[in-house]
Amino acid sequence: MKRRPLTGRGWGCLLSGVLLMLAANIVSARPLLYLGVLLVALPLICLMIVRVPRRRGEVRRQISTDLLAVGETSRVQVRFDLWAFGVPNGIWHDTLPSAVRGEATGAYPQDALRYDLEGVRRGISTLGPLMLRTTDPFGLAQREQAFGDTRTITVIPQTVALDPLPTKVGAAGGTAQTRSTRIGQGADNLIPRPYAAGDSRRRIHWRATAHRGSLMVRQEEEEASPDAMVVLDRAADRWDRPGEEPDPLFESAVTLCASVALRLAQDGYSVDVVDSSGNALGALRGHEEDRDDLMIALAMVAPRGESHDLRSVVGSTPPGPLVLITGHLPDEDAEKLSTAGAAAPLLFAAEASDDAMTTVREHGWRPAQLPSSAVDLADTWASVLPFSTVSHV
């Protein structure tokens, strides 16, 4: 909101001056005329004092966390360098988007500008610009000016702690597991084997060579890396139309999606997170940046598109755990919902009839109703555990 050039006191002073000048003409009182002219001229002079000097400033913000989760608090440090004639007194405030909230205001000048910021809605938005409102010593005129560039801030979904899976399930029901190899000196999963022509001498295992009395090289040991998949069904017809306020059920679905992916990664799974059209949202392979990439993708996800057959989304190699998070699940869609051969299919639906729940349970799913509050997600997740490892197609 653009502020008026005069404060309430300034407008009162100006109006009083005009009335005194009119009264002076009526009663022919010259002193009233002088006083009226003074009261009219004073706010105009103060307005020139406040608005004429040129000012320029530089703003730098430092946020304690690069990614701010919903419900999490972060400290923002603001360095504001102002070049102006004299040091004006006033009030500063940082412009906050609707995705965050905080008391981003204070008196100026002061040594440090800082405030706490709380994430309230996931998404990518901007902080700033910084606004400085100054007044003259009499408080008659005011000036509000924007300084500095904006700063991007990413609010990621809230995550909740979930119970681990009671048993580890590999791909295809535990009978087929993907294999990953690591090559490099000093890796703990490497075992020695006899040297063969063409092997690089950089791979010589010197300790094993000294023990065996012949050249030994490091050979990568195959280790099980079972796959898991989390599918977030964000088809537009599954959820309420987006409005000014976010859909609590969809927000709960995104929170569950992030929480389940992190839980499965902690359990040692290689996790793929996709939407119902098969578009990749992220993958967790044990790297720290994988988590950040997934959270940024989930910060921007919204209901759109259409659902595809789950078997085409999963592909020809079924995972061990398969977690499907969906919205409104009609009875006819429940009839066609296959587990795609997954060993541990878990389903969470925001809205489904008793008949639909019974149908998907008969198809091999372990279903649960998706709560609208993140507080209940841990209990909902626990309600589908332990599961049977018998797969159904």
Give every strand in the sheet of 56-63, ordered side by side. 56-63, 73-83, 113-119, 100-101
**Whole-number Å distance between alpha carbons of 114 and 75:** 7
Q: Is the dihedral of CA 351, 349, 290, 101 positive or negative?
A: positive
What is the per-residue DSSP string for 152-207?
EEEEEPP----PPPSS---GGGGT---EE---STT-TTEEEEE--TT--GGGB-HH
Least-confidence region, from 5-19, 66-80, 109-123, 182-196: 182-196
Average pLDDT, the chain: 85
Domain ranges of the chain: 8-51, 56-156, 182-221, 227-383
Name the token pair of 80: 């504001």
Q: What is the pLDDT of residues 316-355, one digit of tens each?
A: 888 889 999 999 999 999 999 999 989 899 999 999 999 9
Q: What is residue 198's predicted lDDT score, i.e. its pLDDT?
A: 64
What CATH fold (topology level) applies to the domain 227-383? Rossmann fold (3.40.50)
What is the per-residue DSSP string for 302-327?
-S-S----HHHHH-SS--SEEEEEEE
Task: Find tokens 């977690």 and name the residue.
Answer: 323
**Whole-number Å distance between alpha carbons of 4 and 8:** 9
Which listed CATH number (2.60.40.420, 2.60.40.10, 2.40.50.140, 3.40.50.720) goes with 56-156?
2.60.40.10
Name the token pair of 131: 């606004």
% of the chain exceeding 70 in pLDDT: 84
Q: What is residue 186's predicted lDDT score, i.e. its pLDDT?
A: 38
Q: How many residues does the chain have?
A: 393
222: pLDDT strictly greater than 60: no
> Could you tell me the pLDDT band of residue 243, with boundaries at 50, 70 and 90?
low
Q: CA-based diameter of the chain, in Å? A: 122
